[in-house]
Structure 1
Amino acid sequence: MFKKSIIAFALVVVSAFSVSVAFANEAQLSNTTASDKYWASITKKYTAFEAPDEISYDDGRGYIGKLKRGVGTNCLPEGCDWTYSGWMYYQY
Structure 2
Amino acid sequence: MREPEAHISSAILRVRPGEEAAVVRRVMAVPGCEVAAAGEGRLVVLIETESRGATGAALTELTLLEGVHSACMVYEQVEALKTLGEKA
TM-score bucket of the superposed structures, by smaller chain: 0.3 to 0.5
Tell me which of the two structures has the higher relative contact order, counting C-alpha pairs closer than 8 angstroms and 6 or more residues apart.
2
**Larger C-alpha radius of gyration, 1 or 2?**
1
TM-score, normalised to structure 1, is: 0.35
Q: Relative to total residues, which structure has the larger helix share, 1 or 2?
A: 1
TM-score, normalised to structure 2, is: 0.36
